[in-house]
């Protein structure tokens, strides 16, 4: 073998080796693409719904409208979640692929925080966003009555209700159990000023709580001053408690 032939041979082998790996790579890509989009191996065969209590799983599946047999990679999870979130009792939904052939829809339901008395009787049970979760003939035990001039249907996005819900979420349990009604109003009566929440307790006691801030300190101070023979307690400004 001449020197020229010896130099050409390694270059030829290198080109063949490069061509082989290129073809193998293309074959692998083609195989993966076929498995994801064209084969019957990685397609939706079942859909599970989790997190539901009040909303029937069958309703979620009907609204989700997932076609069995659709390649899992082609499932638009965001679009399915939006369809499920259109159900009034659903606060949010997430959709996840569970390879190789499963889809999981996780639902977070709306939870009522207050009851609103209806003019025609009964109560609208409303969540923090002002969405009516359901109607009830009787006010459920443990759910405070929200004092407002608005009907439940007009409370969606109401800032006073949102502040009230935030306050209720931070209250100590011993206080929550005593609440009969709750109301909220602007601090100085002018639009745009911070809402002040007032708790009306059983036993004709009233607590001006204020906003949702510094809840732990307010709770501790209220627990002390409620030992006094008073019917009105203002803990809206922690450190400066007022009783009457």
Q: CA dist 90 to 64, 129, 156, 231, Å?
A: 13, 12, 14, 40
Among the residue ranges 17-31, 52-66, 95-109, 121-135, the one predicted with the least confidence is 17-31
Whether residue 31 is predicted with pLDDT greater than 50 in this model: the reply is no
Long-range contacts, stretch 17-21, CB < 8 angstroms, 24+ apart: none
Tens digit of each residue's pLDDT (9 = 90 or more) over 170-214: 999 999 999 999 999 987 655 656 789 999 999 999 999 999 999
Tens digit of each residue's pLDDT (9 = 90 or more) over 104-139: 999 999 999 999 999 989 999 999 999 999 999 999
Q: Is 3 left (phi over 0), alpha (psi -120 to 50) or beta?
A: alpha
Distance CA(145)–CA(181), nearest Å, equals 4
Whether residue 4 is predicted with pLDDT greater than 50 in this model: the reply is no
- Give the per-residue pLDDT at 187: 72
pTM of the model: 0.77
């Amino acid at each position: 073998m001449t020197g020229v032939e010896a130099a050409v041979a390694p270059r030829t082998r290198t080109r063949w080796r490069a061509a082989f790996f290129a073809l193998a790579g293309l074959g692998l890509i083609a195989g993966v693409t076929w498995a994801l989009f064209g084969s019957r191996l990685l397609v939706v065969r079942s859909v599970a719904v989790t997190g539901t209590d009040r909303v029937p799983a069958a309703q979620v599946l009907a609204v989700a409208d997932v076609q069995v047999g659709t390649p899992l990679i082609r499932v638009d999870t965001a679009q399915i979640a939006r369809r499920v979130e259109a159900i009034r009792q659903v606060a949010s939904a997430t959709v996840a692929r569970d390879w190789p052939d499963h889809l999981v829809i996780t639902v977070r339901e709306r939870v009522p925080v207050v009851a609103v008395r209806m003019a025609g009787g009964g109560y609208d049970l409303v969540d923090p966003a002002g969405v009516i979760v359901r109607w009830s003939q009787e006010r459920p035990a443990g759910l405070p009555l929200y004092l407002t001039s608005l009907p439940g249907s007009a409370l969606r996005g109401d800032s006073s209700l949102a502040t009230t819900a935030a306050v209720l979420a931070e209250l100590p349990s011993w206080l929550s159990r005593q609440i009969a009604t709750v109301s909220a109003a602007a601090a100085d009566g002018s639009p745009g000023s911070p809402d002040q929440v007032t708790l009306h307790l059983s036993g004709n006691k009233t607590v001006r709580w204020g906003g949702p801030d510094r809840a732990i300190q307010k709770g501790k101070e209220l627990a002390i001053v409620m030992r006094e023979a008073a019917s009105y307690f203002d803990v809206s400004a922690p450190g400066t408690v007022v009783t009457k």
